[in-house]
Amino acid sequence: METDLEGLQIPGHVAIILDGNGRWAKKRGLPRTMGHKEGCVTVEKTVEIAARMGIRYLTVYGFSTENWKRSAEEVGALMQLFRYYMMRLLKIASQNNVRVRMIGERSRFDQDIIDGINRLEAETKDNTGLTFVIAVNYGGRDEITRAVRRLTADCAAGRLDPASITEETISGALDTAGIPDPDLLIRTSGENRLSNYLIWQTAYTEFYITDCYWPDFNRDELLRAIRAYNSRDRRYGGVKAQ
Ligand code: IPE
Ligand code: IPE
Ligand code: MG
């Protein structure tokens, strides 16, 4: 174990709302897309850092259902970055024994991106280290709406008894089925909102907000968040670092 983690409880599932790419770029007089590019590098680094720390699940918000409303130019640039980094992720995942999973509604993407997502999941599915979950075209309300449609279709077809539906049934019908709820949620760049992220799953999650812009996020920032998490009086979740 890394020595500065000694005695710290490592959250089993860390979820991140990466924010501030645009402001990071603006501060430097650069186009927003440069902020996104730098942000992708930070995502790569964070996957490696989290894997080394012994975090079991890392879920990162990459593109929300609302983000389609941004300019065509910005959306196009984000799609290009996504294509490129998906390829790189294949390598990083195998080097670090990382399993990749995507949540969100993928059918809205171009076919080559859908193929890339499917390939990434298939080729990393047997890796036993960190599970890296990327939320793309993800919205918590959209996720719940899709789950409700499936469950009600099952009820209408007589496969499911409405009276038998429990919280576990709903959790199991979400994109995150089988993934434990986040223990710690980090949002960068100082915003105090959930922006439609994991709205069902964060019912009992600890929130940590940092002013740091996402491209500047690093191991020290993550460690600060984990220390803050350790200082909270919390009843559930987490695995002891060893
Ligand atoms: C987060 O950075 C990345 C995405 C939402 C894709 P932003 O693009 O939201 O950056 P700011 O909030 O404008 O600084
Ligand atoms: C949330 O960030 C979405 C992602 C990080 C992908 P935004 O920057 O899009 O959120 P708002 O618009 O400030 O709520
Ligand atoms: Mg933002």
As a three-state string, the secondary structure of 167-187 is HHHHHHHCCCCCCCCCCEEEE
pLDDT tens per residue across span 48-63 = 999 999 999 999 999 9
Q: How close is the Cα of 145 to the center of ligand 3, in Å?
A: 24
Contacts of 221 (CB under 8 A, 6+ apart): 188, 210, 212
Contact (Cβ atoms closer than 8 angstroms) between residue 162 and residue 142: no
Three-state DSSP class for residue 219:
helix
19 annotated active-site: yes
Considering only CA atoms, which of 176, 227, 184 is closest in space to residue 202?
184
Considering only CA atoms, which of 152, 207, 150, 143 is closest in space to residue 176?
143
Q: Please determine, for residue 36, whether its predicted confidence score (pLDDT) is greater than 50.
A: yes
Confidence category of residue 1, pLDDT binned at 50, 70, 90: confident
Please name the helix (run of DSSP H) or strand (run of DSSP E) that holds residue 102, with its range, or none.
Answer: strand 99-103
pLDDT tens per residue across span 122-163 = 999 999 999 999 999 999 999 999 999 999 999 999 999 999
Query: pLDDT > 90: what percent of the chain?
Result: 95
Q: What is the pLDDT of residue 236?
A: 59
In angstroms, rounded to a whole number, what is the distance separating the alpha carbons of residues 200 and 102?
Answer: 17
In angstroms, rounded to a whole number, what is the distance separating the alpha carbons of residues 68 and 108?
Answer: 10
Measured from the CA of 17, which atom of ligand 2 is nearest? 5
Q: Is the CB of 63 under 6 A from ligand 2?
A: yes
Around 1, how many Cα atoms within 13 Å sit in the side-chain half-sphere? 13
Q: What is the pLDDT of residue 136?
A: 98
**Averaged pLDDT, 38-44:** 98
| Ligand 2 pocket mutation pick from 42, 63, 67 by most atoms within 8 angstroms of CB | 67
Q: Please determine, for residue 227, whether its predicted confidence score (pLDDT) is greater than 90.
A: yes
Q: Can you read off the two tokens belonging to residue 35?
A: 């902020």
Q: Please determine, for residue 228, whether its predicted confidence score (pLDDT) is greater than 50.
A: yes
In angstroms, rounded to a whole number, what is the distance separating the alpha carbons of residues 183 and 172?
Answer: 18
Q: Please determine, for residue 240, whether its predicted confidence score (pLDDT) is greater than 50.
A: no
Around 19, how many Cα atoms within 13 Å sit in the side-chain half-sphere? 20
Q: Which of 67, 96, 127, 230 is catalytic?
A: 67
In angstroms, rounded to a whole number, what is the distance separating the alpha carbons of residues 122 and 66?
Answer: 28
Q: What is the pLDDT of residue 33?
A: 97
In angstroms, rounded to a whole number, what is the distance separating the alpha carbons of residues 77 and 56?
Answer: 31
Query: pLDDT > 70: what percent of the chain?
Result: 96
Confidence category of residue 237, pLDDT binned at 50, 70, 90: low
pLDDT tens per residue across span 162-198 = 999 999 999 999 999 999 999 999 999 999 999 999 9
Q: Please determine, for residue 224, whether its predicted confidence score (pLDDT) is greater than 80.
A: yes
Q: How close is the Cα of 15 to the center of ligand 1, in Å?
A: 16
**Hey, whose CA ends up nearest to atom 9 of ligand 2?**
67
Q: How close is the Cα of 195 to the center of ligand 2, in Å?
A: 6
**Averaged pLDDT, 207-212:** 98
Is the whole model's pTM more than 0.85, yes or no? Answer: yes
Contact (Cβ atoms closer than 8 angstroms) between residue 212 and residue 186: no
Measured from the CA of 67, which atom of ligand 2 is nearest? 9
Ligand nearest to the CA of 69: 2
**Hey, whose CA ends up nearest to atom 14 of ligand 2?**
195
Q: Can you read off the two tokens belonging to residue 92?
A: 């990083």
| Ligand 2 pocket mutation pick from 195, 202, 213 by most atoms within 8 angstroms of CB | 195
